[in-house]
Amino acid sequence: MRQMQYAIKIIITVLLVVGISEAGKRNHYAGAILASLPLTSILALTWLYYETGSKEKTAQLTSDITYMVLPSLTFFITLPILLKRDFSYPLALLISSSVTFVCYVLFLKILSVFRPA
């Protein structure tokens, strides 16, 4: 049964990612809207609640996701800037991901001062 749940999760996730990519090819606004929806978060929250039945764990993950939106925005700011400055896509992706990682680490340090774990 557990393997079937993983298979279903994988299939749904793959279909969403492929669907967003295909929509983006046809209409960049449609792709952007679909990609900006918190579909991954909704799926993760749904899987968590379905598997644990815990509203408390689901609410906590929702709160934590909200906090993590702020540092994740650095990726969406950095990547287009680098691409417009003619960086190769792989290099721009690597740099943007690295900048985002550093922002996550810094943000978690700041958060730990104001919100004990």
For the stretch 56-113, pLDDT in tens is 999 999 988 888 889 999 999 999 999 999 999 999 999 999 999 999 999 989 988 8
Q: Which residue has the higher pLDDT, 89 or 115?
A: 89
Check: pTM over 0.85? Answer yes or no.
no
pLDDT, residue 44, reads 86
Is 62 within a domain?
Answer: yes
In the chain, how many domains are there?
1
pLDDT, residue 54, reads 95
Q: Is 18 exposed, middle or buried (0-12, 13-18, 19+ CB in 10 A)?
A: exposed
pLDDT, residue 116, reads 63
Is 97 within a domain?
Answer: yes
Q: Which domain holds residue 69?
A: 55-117
Is 20 within a domain?
Answer: no
Q: What is the pLDDT of residues 26-55, one digit of tens each?
A: 888 888 777 777 888 888 899 899 989 999
Find the length of the chain.
Answer: 117
Is 27 within a domain?
Answer: no
Is 15 within a domain?
Answer: no
